[in-house]
Structure 1
């Protein structure tokens, strides 16, 4: 699963004072557009992990074996890989097409990719079609991230919509298996997962058409001036320049994140930290089946319900991020200016207590002599930590690169890392839990999380030192 938060610090263009600017919209108009996109973020991400609720049915239908390797999980890995590539290649097109047109076009493509998933006659068809649906879903789910700075000009205004965006993304990725596990208890085929999704996504299409508005100021101005011959869509010179511009943006979008993550130690460390946290959501979709089935004897469908605890934790984590935003603004007033490392104050305890502590509880409390409630509390703590870490990591990187032209590429680097880990980390679950036992498998993951939790501590301590030595942070850079 790919998730690019290409949030710009504000919608400040040369045309920013234009009466067309979405920053001048009424709050009702802004939130109508934002909530439409947020609903799409939640719903399209359901397509990513919901298929794991039917892994045994798919194994039986296509004669796939999950021992000793979880081959059925290639359906999610393919989806995530498509998302990682799609967000890099397709995102520049949104700048040219505009948010509304680009969203509707790729949503239609996404909807069409669900059809072959529903009627697939072999496993390869599922793997291939999910690659393309993942690419579209990643772009659609993250569209709101670039709309928010178009509509809200200040950090304080953006805090709530950005936190909601990340919550919707994580909730959609987490809650899919329990939602569709419940449906499969009353339906006789895994194909109903996609039939239901076709109904949901088809019903959403008219709402998107009527409620999703364009937020790109340059696109709005272009639409206003379309009657002029020089800006007309049929002008060959204009089309040629636009095509060249698209290719240039695609090239930069594809190469810059890799360059930055390999040369910027802060970006590299935050990417690892956030990617591991995000990937844990997908890891849990695999491990809960083994833990609760082997220890407590639950059925495959019932094990998926434990992910509701992760979702509850994410909601509590969302509330914590709102408080974290208040801490950041208080620190800004106290220091007479923003200090990016203040973003990490709440993330340190959330990472250590939430992800690390929750992972240890999940690992060691899962015993037949201990109630299933205990490890489930650990899952809730993990969900809490994931929400806070992913949000604060996003905000911190955005602040670091906000004054340069590299903010989009830096955030895309984090997103690509999250997608890679989310797609491939769960492939190790089967062997990890078989060879090491659930206790030690969970302990190993907890120790990795503890090690990565040192990154925000280091940056709170020496963040200014790193910033002063980066040629890309907090300074305008050449494109």
Structure 2
């Protein structure tokens, strides 16, 4: 999952537009430009915004229009992840129809969810640069339409392999859609204060959408009994919202808007009018190569990014692990039906909603930290993003795991382990949000926020793919108590990461060339910040 990072910044022009009847942007006359990736020659015109109040700049849209576009995007944030976990409540029915066998130490029925998460990890790294060229609106509609088409073979699948392959593709689309949505927020909200609420809503809706699948579709197996209706219903919902997104999601990427203006002027006047981004852009194949290699390189060379990714990925992966462990625990302890175990995961959602309220408080602490920042006076301290997450990680994830573990007795009411699930949900929401914001802030100055956040998002999807595969073996071999306790101890170890960052964050950032922008690549191409 990506979080909204720094958006485009509209420049201010120093000369009036050559033809105000064609566009409302300003232009700069530049002689003798010679760029390997752009047209050459004299009298080349660079197109920019028509001053700071250009109405075409998304930062200058009305508050009403901003919230309409943001609201439409947030609806999509909630809807598309439902496809990921909803299938888990039909595992037994799918196994029976396709003759798939779960073993005591391995759950083969989880492969359709593993492939879904792996698709997300791959697509977000490989195809993300395309969004820079085609724009938010077109990119969203293309991948949403393809995602919608991939629901059809999931509903009509005649074999297990079809489910695995098509869900790999749909999971990849969901990751790209989530990233597209996350870029809309910084594209139209210009400062940390105005972005705080949209960003918090984005993350909580993505998390609850990922968690609510079994809760929302448990009734299909209870009352209809045919797992294919999970996808039939999704097909109806997603198809119904296609016109909604088509009408309400506008293009928000400033560079794309300017590029289209320049293209229109070139077509109308045959003049050499280009945006600065067009002149500076590297060939697409080089950007694709960079997008695939840079996040991995950062992950292997940046200790802060590596630790943050492990912490956030474990937290996010726990959402998917619960789709397996909750079924084992509540079926084994209370004899519940498979669909009933889907309902109890609503406790995680309750915790996530409470975590959302905590993130709003955390945003206020972050903004107030600017008053005591001696490193960059007037700017919030990046590590202030982590204050609430320390409490949430130790009490929420660690404490919740141990409550979930040691209330798993048949003579205790089911609400007791459900409270543990809610505590973990609270911690997950705060941790994932805090890590995404912290990494964005820490790398934004150097321009490497995009690659750093992509590394975190890929790590989250990879752990979400593979961590639940160990659930069957853990809970069978170790038992309910010690399997969840093992997860609690892992969470305890990872929870010290934010403590170290808050304690030594300034020194750690000073030692990182990628956070400081001291690497040669930054000087040459300006990093990868949108």
For normalisation by structure 2, the TM-score amounts to 0.86
Of residues 8, 12, 24, the one that matches 2:9 is: 12
Moved more, 305-314 or 13-22: 13-22
Work out the CA distance in 2 between the residues paired with 1:390 and 1:188. Answer: 35
> In 2 relative to 1, CA 231–278 (structure 1 residues): closer, same or farther, beyond 3 Å?
farther
Alignment of 1:21-420 (within 5 A): 21-68=57-104, 69-229=106-266, 245-335=283-373, 336=377, 337-420=379-462
Equivalent residue for 1:470?
A: 512
2:8 and 2:255 in contact (8 A); partners too:
no
1:222 and 1:231 in contact (8 A); partners too:
no
Work out the CA distance in 1 between the residues paired with 2:465 and 2:268. Answer: 43
- The structure showing larger relative contact order (alpha-carbon pairs under 8 Å, at least 6 residues apart) is 1
2:10 and 2:57 in contact (8 A); partners too:
no
Work out the CA distance in 2 between the residues paired with 1:386 and 1:349. Answer: 12
- SS of the aligned residue for 1:346 comes to helix
- SS of the aligned residue for 1:255 comes to helix
1:355 and 1:446 in contact (8 A); partners too:
yes
Q: How many residues align?
A: 473
Of residues 436, 441, 466, the one that matches 2:483 is: 441
> In 2 relative to 1, CA 241–224 (structure 1 residues): closer, same or farther, beyond 3 Å?
closer
1:403 and 1:473 in contact (8 A); partners too:
yes
Post-superposition Cα deviations, 1:12-40, rounded to whole Å, max 9, x if no partner, equal 24346343211111111111111111111
- Which is richer in helix? 1
Work out the CA distance in 2 between the residues paired with 1:404 and 1:103. Answer: 28
Work out the CA distance in 1 between the residues paired with 2:384 and 2:471. Answer: 35
CA drift of 1:208 comes to 0.6
Work out the CA distance in 1 between the residues paired with 2:306 and 2:269. Answer: 43
CA drift of 1:142 comes to 2.4
1:10 and 1:154 in contact (8 A); partners too:
no
Work out the CA distance in 2 between the residues paired with 1:141 and 1:190. Answer: 26
Work out the CA distance in 2 between the residues paired with 1:27 and 1:180. Answer: 36
2:368 and 2:380 in contact (8 A); partners too:
no
- SS of the aligned residue for 1:395 comes to helix
Work out the CA distance in 2 between the residues paired with 1:232 and 1:281. Answer: 55
CA drift of 1:386 comes to 0.3
Work out the CA distance in 1 between the residues paired with 2:422 and 2:343. Answer: 12
Structure 1 unaligned spans of 5+: none
CA drift of 1:109 comes to 0.7
Work out the CA distance in 2 between the residues paired with 1:187 and 1:253. Answer: 45
Work out the CA distance in 1 between the residues paired with 2:387 and 2:213. Answer: 31
Work out the CA distance in 1 between the residues paired with 2:284 and 2:147. Answer: 22
Work out the CA distance in 2 between the residues paired with 1:259 and 1:45. Answer: 28
Post-superposition Cα deviations, 1:159-197, rounded to whole Å, max 9, x if no partner, equal 111111111111111000111111221213111011001
1:11 and 1:153 in contact (8 A); partners too:
no
Post-superposition Cα deviations, 1:35-59, rounded to whole Å, max 9, x if no partner, equal 1111111111001110001001000
> In 2 relative to 1, CA 182–340 (structure 1 residues): closer, same or farther, beyond 3 Å?
same
For normalisation by structure 1, the TM-score amounts to 0.95
Structure 2 unaligned spans of 5+: 12-47
1:41 and 1:142 in contact (8 A); partners too:
no
Work out the CA distance in 1 between the residues paired with 2:125 and 2:101. Answer: 33
Post-superposition Cα deviations, 1:98-148, rounded to whole Å, max 9, x if no partner, equal 100111111111111111111010000110111111111111122121111
CA drift of 1:242 comes to 11
Equivalent residue for 1:455?
A: 497
- SS of the aligned residue for 1:226 comes to helix
CA drift of 1:297 comes to 1.4
Moved more, 139-148 or 276-285: 139-148
Work out the CA distance in 2 between the residues paired with 1:269 and 1:88. Answer: 20
Equivalent residue for 2:473?
A: 431
2:220 and 2:227 in contact (8 A); partners too:
no
Work out the CA distance in 1 between the residues paired with 2:420 and 2:516. Answer: 38
